[in-house]
Amino acid sequence: MSIERWLVNLVRIRSVLWRSGLLLGVLLLVAGALGIWSAGRDLRSASVHVADVPVEIVRPVGGGTGRPAVVVAHGYAGSGRLMRPFADTLVRRGYVVALPDLAGHAANTRPMTGPDEIDRQLAAVVRYVRSLPEVDPARVALLGHSMGAAAVVRVGAGDPLIAATVAISLGDGTAAALQPGPRHLLLIVGALEPAGIRSVSAAALAGDTAGRRMVRVAFVEHVGVLYADRTHQEAARWLDDALRHQPERSAIAGKRRVAAAGLSLIGMLLLVIAVLVRPPAGAAPPPPAGPVPPIRLPMGRLAGAVLAAPVPALVGGWVSARMLPAPVSGYLVGYFTLAGATLASVAVLARRQAGTRRPEGDLRGPAGAGRLHSRSWTAGATVVALAVGAGAAVVVPIHLGLTSVTPHGSRWWLIGVLALATGALLGGVHAVSRPPWSLAVLAAVCLPLPVAATVGLAPGFLALITPLLAALLALYLVVAGVAWLTGMPWWRTIPAGALMVAWPVAAALPIT
């Protein structure tokens, strides 16, 4: 087949991909938006401030008095919005549910100074809920996840009027050892959670187990346990029994929002990809003068770079975690920056030793594909448009369907600093590899992060958010791979990746 014929066929394929991706993306985006809307369609929601704590109060549409109520506490780096699925389930069953943003999280701009501050705010919300005219003050319960699980156990143990407590993923040994503990305590853990969380939850059953129970939910980890049907079923039944409540509906709505958010995210990414693969206007371009072989590091040197990069990165993470106000974001800033700088240095040194000059063709995908890339936009406009589009494709669905990622106060500059560090990491990865090898290099360089968190060399919370980081980086690599195949220089995709990773991570982590 001649090069001219090959180019014509490639343009036709891109035309089909563009149209089908555009159509499917719009359909999924609409389906996701409708799913998020329908999740709260028959509920009443109002936002209030209780002792400087932003709280969302969710009520049944039918009104009424003497209703049971549940105050739901989120975990570290969570938000009231992350726990909204429990309101979707419980309010449909006849409960009033309060969803606070605890200190340092989401819309709460008060710094998180420690567990005492969290407990004080949670107790204030409990008092407010008891004062609501539609709530029976003798039937108020607590439900919490992770950090919030420890808080509800402590507050429940100190308030004998709390009728029941549900602690999901309890990992605080001090809270678990409280005697006497809260009344009617249900402990829920995911089977794939860290062993420490499972053992601490089991330890809470030691001694007098009257009125206590532990449930292990199969096939879920620390975040997935929040959306599992069994988690919602067990929590609802426990609260119904303890609060002597006959549910108005047997609703279980744990997956509605996360499924809708997933559809929206896929739909928006497909729209971004459809723009990338859009064929050029007019006839097929002239054939390329000839393929330019990309410069690649020898496999041995590449492996050496991948193995060497985490060493200075671990040191950099340890130092920056102590310099920045948010330890987890601070650690990632140092780790990503030093890992990316090490990879880039190896690539530059290798090219100098080889005595070669980096040709423009090395910045492009398969031979000739770069000629198909539309040149109607300037490079700067392309970078900005791709960064905004890809960033929004990730941030908007997460914010609307999962958790709050609206930055407040110092979160703005944390996003900028982490974005620069993420850009350094991605730049280093692209300097030493091309798709599909970029995926393997990035995974290998980041693999020490959860290991370091597990053994105490990094903040322990990193081990819990490793799946989130992996998912965000994988989404970026999909966009970067498509851009590379269409002939876009790899460096134009780095700002998009930096925004896709840094915004959800830095904005969700608490102010300290």
pLDDT of res. 325: 81
- Compute φ and ψ for 234, nearest 5 degrees: -65, -40
Kindly tell me if the per-residue pLDDT of 255 is higher than 90: yes
Most confident range (mean pLDDT) of 15-29, 197-211, 241-255 is 241-255
Most confident range (mean pLDDT) of 49-63, 225-239, 278-292 is 225-239
What torsion do the CA atoms of 83, 89, 93, 96 make, to the nearest 10 degrees? 20
Residues 468-476: what's their mean pLDDT? Answer: 93
Distance (Å, whole) CA 323 – CA 240: 48
Query: What are the residue boundaries of the structural domains of the chain, listed by start?
Result: 40-254, 299-508
Kindly report the average pLDDT of the chain as a whole number: 87
Farthest CA pair distance, the chain: 82
pLDDT of res. 469: 92
| 509 confidence band (pLDDT: 50, 70, 90) | confident
pTM assigned to the model: 0.88
Cα 391 to the center of its chain, rounded Å: 13
| 372 confidence band (pLDDT: 50, 70, 90) | very low
- CA 384-394-420 angle, 5° bins: 50
| 361 confidence band (pLDDT: 50, 70, 90) | very low
pLDDT of res. 291: 38
| Cβ 502 vs Cβ 395: under 8 Å | no
Residue type, 324: L
Cβ neighbourhood burial of 384 (10 Å; 0-12, 13-18, 19+): middle
| 358 confidence band (pLDDT: 50, 70, 90) | very low
Please tell me which residue, 344 or 284, carries the higher pLDDT value.
344
Distance (Å, whole) CA 430 – CA 339: 12
Kindly tell me if the per-residue pLDDT of 345 is higher than 80: yes
Query: Nearest-CA neighbor of 268 among 386, 400, 392?
Result: 392
Kindly tell me if the per-residue pLDDT of 92 is higher than 90: yes
Please count the other Cβ atoms lying within 10 Å of the Cβ belonging to residue 244: 11
Q: In the chain, pLDDT over 70 holds for what percent of residues?
A: 88
pLDDT of res. 209: 67
Distance (Å, whole) CA 490 – CA 271: 19
pLDDT one-digit tens code per residue, 279-321: 766 544 444 433 334 445 677 778 888 889 999 999 999 999 9
pLDDT of res. 210: 75
Distance (Å, whole) CA 496 – CA 504: 13
Pairing label, strands 53-60, 67-73: unpaired
CATH topology of domain 40-254: Rossmann fold (3.40.50)
